[in-house]
Amino acid sequence: MSENQYTEDNIRSLDWKEHIRLRPGMYIGKLGDGSAADDGIYILVKEVIDNCIDEFVMGNGKRVDVKMKDGKVSVRDYGRGIPLGKVVEVVSKMNTGGKYDSKAFKKSVGLNGVGTKAVNALSEYFMVYSVREGEKKQATFCRGELVEEFPIEKTTEANGTYVEFIADDTIFKKFSFRTPYLVKMFWNYCYLNRGLAIYYNGEKYQSKDGLKDLLEDNMDGDPLYPIIHLEDEDIEVAFTHGKTYGEDYYSFVNGQHTTQGGTHQSAFRESIAKVIRDFYKKDYDASDIRQSIVAAIAVKVIEPVFESQTKTKLGSQEIEPGGKSMRAFINDFLKEKLDNYLHRHPDVADTLEKKIKQSERERKELSGIRKLARERQKKSSLHNKKLRDCRTHLTDLKDDKREMTTLFITEGDSASGSITKSRDVNTQAVFSLRGKPLNCYGLTKKVVYENEEFNLIQAALDIEEDMDNLRYNNIVIATDADVDGMHIRLLLLTFFLQFFPDLVKRNHVYVLQTPLFRVRNKKKTIYCYSEEERRAAIAELGKNPEITRFKGLGEISPDEFKHFIGDDIRLEPVLLTKDASIETILSYYMGKNTPERQEFIIDNLRVEKDPDDIAENDMEEVEKAS
375: amino acid identity, one letter: E
The angle at the Cα of 557, spanning 550 to 476, to the nearest 5 degrees, equals 75
Whole-prediction pTM value?
Answer: 0.79
How high is the pLDDT of residue 104?
A: 44
Neighbours of 371 (CB within 10 A): 11
Q: Tell me: the pLDDT tens digits for 391-444? A: 887 766 655 566 778 999 998 777 788 888 889 898 899 999 888 888 888 888
Please say if the pLDDT value at position 110 is more than 60.
Answer: no
* 396-417 core/surface letters (b: 16 or more CB in 10 A; e: else): eeebbebbbbbbbbbbbeebbb
Q: Is the dihedral of CA 141, 309, 113, 302 positive or negative?
A: positive
179: amino acid identity, one letter: T
DSSP 143: T
**Rounded mean pLDDT of 321-343?**
92
How high is the pLDDT of residue 620?
A: 54
**Rounded mean pLDDT of 553-581?**
81
Query: Whole-angstrom Cα distance, residue 294 to residue 238?
Result: 8
Closest CA to 481 of 532, 515, 508: 515
Residue extents of the structural domains in the chain: 16-205, 211-364, 382-514+552-591
How high is the pLDDT of residue 185?
A: 93
DSSP 60: -
Neighbours of 145 (CB within 10 A): 13
Per-residue pLDDT band for 566 (boundaries 50, 70, 90) equals confident
Q: Tell me: the pLDDT tens digits for 2-30? A: 556 656 665 555 677 888 888 887 888 78
Strand pairing class (203-205; 197-200): antiparallel
Query: Whole-angstrom Cα distance, residue 192 to residue 214?
Result: 9
CATH number, span 382-514+552-591: 3.40.50.670
Strand pairing class (160-167; 135-142): unpaired
Query: Whole-angstrom Cα distance, residue 478 to residue 456?
Result: 17
How high is the pLDDT of residue 450?
A: 85
Q: What's the topology of domain 211-364?
A: Ribosomal Protein S5; domain 2 (3.30.230)
How high is the pLDDT of residue 626?
A: 45
Helix (H, G, I), strand (E, B) or coil at 154: strand
Please say if the pLDDT value at position 166 is more than 70.
Answer: yes
Q: Which residues contact 60 (CB under 8 A, 6 or more apart)?
A: 78, 79, 80
Please say if the pLDDT value at position 261 is more than 70.
Answer: yes
Closest CA to 297 of 379, 241, 208, 230: 230
1 vs 567, higher pLDDT: 567
* Gyration radius from the chain CA atoms: 27
**Rounded mean pLDDT of 53-64?**
89
Query: Whole-angstrom Cα distance, residue 593 to residue 460?
Result: 33
**% of the chain surpassing 90 pLDDT:** 42
Query: Whole-angstrom Cα distance, residue 49 to residue 54?
Result: 9
Please say if the pLDDT value at position 456 is more than 80.
Answer: yes
Helix (H, G, I), strand (E, B) or coil at 166: strand
Q: Which CATH superfamily is domain 16-205 in?
A: Histidine kinase-like ATPase, C-terminal domain (3.30.565.10)
Per-residue pLDDT band for 1 (boundaries 50, 70, 90) equals very low
| CB 322 within 8 Å of CB 271 | no
Secondary-structure breakdown of the chain: helix, strand, coil percentages, each rounded to the nearest 5 = 40, 20, 40
- The count of residues in the chain is 626
Query: Whole-angstrom Cα distance, residue 276 to residue 281?
Result: 8
Helix (H) or strand (E) holding 590: helix 582-590
Per-residue pLDDT band for 163 (boundaries 50, 70, 90) equals very high
| CB 196 within 8 Å of CB 78 | no
Per-residue pLDDT band for 105 (boundaries 50, 70, 90) equals low
Helix (H, G, I), strand (E, B) or coil at 474: strand
How high is the pLDDT of residue 98?
A: 52
Secondary structure of 480-512 in HEC code, one letter for each residue: CCCHHHHHHHHHHHHHHHHHCHHHHHCCCEEEE
Q: Tell me: the pLDDT tens digits for 111-124? A: 445 688 999 999 99
Query: Whole-angstrom Cα distance, residue 272 to residue 282?
Result: 14
Helix (H, G, I), strand (E, B) or coil at 26: helix
Neighbours of 373 (CB within 10 A): 21
